Amino acid sequence: MEYEFQRFSLPRTLSRSAVRRLLTDHAEYGGWELARLRRFPDGSRAVELRRRIIRVRSTLSREFRPFV
């Protein structure tokens, strides 16, 4: 499986409930899941989200070309 990653930092001024709400919105509406969350001694957070990359394969054979 291949994943797409999104990384960003959150300041220490955001509350836990605000961070939870932000991550929940990303998960529900963007299809992201939490891969890693790091909290630093200064209170800031580093967030890493991931979602699966879905590859679409052509179902047409190479010989079939109706509009050529």
Residue 68 counted as domain residue: no
Residue 33: domain span: 3-52
Residue 61 counted as domain residue: no
Q: How many separate domains does the chain show?
A: 1
Residue 16 counted as domain residue: yes
Residue 26 counted as domain residue: yes
Residue 40 counted as domain residue: yes
Q: What is the pLDDT along the chain (68 residues), one digit of tens a residue?
A: 899 999 999 999 999 999 999 999 999 999 999 999 999 999 999 999 999 998 887 777 666 666 65
Q: 6-36 burial, b for 16+ CB within 10 Å, e for fewer? A: eeeebeeeeeeeeeeeebeebeeeeebeeee
- pTM beyond 0.85: the answer is no
Residue 60 counted as domain residue: no
